[in-house]
Amino acid sequence: MAAQKIVFLINSILYGGAERALCNILRSAEQYSDLIVEVVILDDLPFRRSLPEGVSYKVLNSRESLARSVFEWRRYASAARPDIVVSFLIRSNVCNALFSGVYSYRSVICERMHMSSHLRLNHSGLKLYVASVIPKVVYPLADTVLGVSDGVTKDLVENFGVSLRRADTVYNPYPIEDIETSALELTNEGAPSKEYIVSVGRLSKSKNVKTLLDAFLLSGESADLVVLGEGECRSELESYIDAIGLSGRVHLLGNIANPFPIVKGAKYFVSASLNEGFPNAMVEAMCLGKPIVMSNCQSGPLEILNDNQDLEPSDNGCWPVKFGVLCEPGSAEALSEGINIMQDPEQRQFYGSVARVRAGDFSLEKVNSQYWNKFLGH
C-alpha cells in the first residue's frame, strides 16, 4: 500500500505564531516517518524560520491575494492529489476547506485567532460583514477544525457554523529545552544595560502597545521597558513615547532572530494585547521562568494562567491568579496595578517559579502527539 501524502498549507514562513507552531509540529519526525510530507507555501516571501531538515516544500505565487491563492491551490491539489491537508491562517484554511470535497482529501484547519474579536478589531461595516461571511461559509466544510484554545474553538462553533463534533482544541507546542538553550546565547541586540521589563509582539492595533506605555508611566516601575516586535504602528508609538516623556526609558528593538536572551534578562513579561488565540510570546517567557503580567483578552490568557476558571469581581481590574497576574483589557490603570504587584521581589520569585512549571504542560512531547492523532483522524 502506498504511503499517505500529508500536505501542510500556510501563507508564508514569517515570524508569526502560526509559522512557529507549524515548524514545532514538524519537529516530531517520529510521528510521520511512514508518511510523505510536504509543506506548501502560498506566497513567495523570504523565509524567517527554518523548516526541519528533510521536509520538502513548494512555494506558490499567490501574491497575498485570496483569489489567486484559491486558483494556485486548486491547481496544486488537482495535480498532487494529497490524502490529508492541514492548514494554518485564514487564507490557507479557506483554500483547504473549499477543495477538500472536490479532491477527496481529509481537511484539517488550525485556527490560531479568536476570530470574532480579531475581525471586530480590524474591520467595521461592510468590510466586517464580508470578512466574516467567508469563514462562516467555508470553515464548516472542513473535516476537522482545531482551535488553539478553548476560547477559539468555542467562538468557531458559536459564531462561524463549525459543528461541535468536528471541532476540538489542541494547544501550541513549545520546544522548552531549545528555548532555554537559545536564551544562553551571548547577545545584547540593543537591550539596555540597566534593569528592564519586556513585552513581545507586533507593533499593531491588536497588541495595544499604547496602553502598555500608559500603564508603564502610571506604575511605580523604575526599570526600563523593552518592546520586541515590528509593525505598522511604529512611527505613531515613537511619537507618543516622545510626547509622554518616556524617551530613553522605552526601547523599541524591532524583530530579533533570537529574542530569548533578552526575554531571559528581563525582570518580568508584560502585555496589553487585545486579541490572542494562544499567546506564544507569553508562554515562551514562562518557559524561561519569567513572571507574567497579562491582559485578560478574549482567548488564551485565562486558560493558561488560571486553568480557565472564572474570575471574581475586582475593584481595580487586576487579578493575581495561579500562574500570573491578569488585568482588565484596555485599561492602563489595571495594567499598572499588575506591574506594581511585580515590584515585590517575593511575588516575582513566586510567579516566575509557577510560570515555569505551567509551561511544561505545553511541551513538544506532551502536545505534538495530540496534533498528529487529530491530523490522521485517530
SS3 content of the chain, % helix, strand, coil (to 5): 45, 15, 40
Whether residues 198 and 326 share a domain: the answer is: yes
203 & 351 share domain: yes
> Residue 348 sits in which domain range?
176-362
Task: Answer whether residue 39 shows pLDDT above 70.
Answer: yes
Q: Is the same domain home to 87 and 202?
A: no
Distance of CA 261 to the CA centre of its chain: 20
- Identify the pLDDT of residue 1: 64
Q: Which residues of 164-187 are buried (b: 16+ CB within 10 A; e: fewer)?
A: eebbebbbbbbbbeebeebbeeee
Predicted confidence (pLDDT) per residue in 295-339, tens digit: 999 889 999 999 988 899 899 999 999 999 999 999 999 999 999
Q: Which of 290, 263, 280 is nearest to 182 (CA)?
A: 263
Residue type, 188: N
Residue 270 clears pLDDT 90, i.e. is over it: yes
Split at pLDDT 50, 70, 90, the class of 16 is confident
Tell me: pLDDT of 15 over 80.
no
Give me the helices (H) in the chain, please. Answer: 17-25, 66-80, 90-99, 115-122, 125-138, 150-159, 176-182, 209-218, 234-243, 260-265, 280-287, 301-306, 332-341, 345-359, 364-375
* Whether residues 227 and 119 fall in one domain: no
Q: Is beta strand 325-327 parallel, antiparallel or unpaired with respect to 318-320? A: antiparallel
Average pLDDT for residues 5-22, to the nearest whole number?
A: 92
Question: 213 and 162, same structural domain?
Answer: no
Q: Looking at the structure, do residues 336 and 369 belong to the same domain, yes or no?
A: no
Instruction: Report residue 358: phi and psi, to 5°.
Output: -65, -35
**20 and 113 assigned to the same domain:** yes
Domain at 28, CATH number? 3.40.50.2000
Say how far apart CA 341 and CA 356 lie, in whole Å.
19
Query: Given a cut of 70, is residue 102 above it in pLDDT?
Result: yes
Q: Do residue 163 and residue 229 come from a single domain?
A: no
Give the chain's domain count.
2
48 and 90 in one domain? yes
Q: Which of 298, 322, 292, 318 is nearest to 309 (CA)?
A: 322
Domain co-membership, 235 together with 131: no
Percent of the chain with pLDDT over 90: 86
Whose CA is closest to 60, among 81, 78, 40? 40
Is residue 217 located within the same domain as residue 291?
yes
Both 291 and 249 in a single domain?
yes
Mean pLDDT (whole number) for 346-352: 98
With CA atoms as reference, report the closest residue to 95 among 46, 54, 141, 161: 141
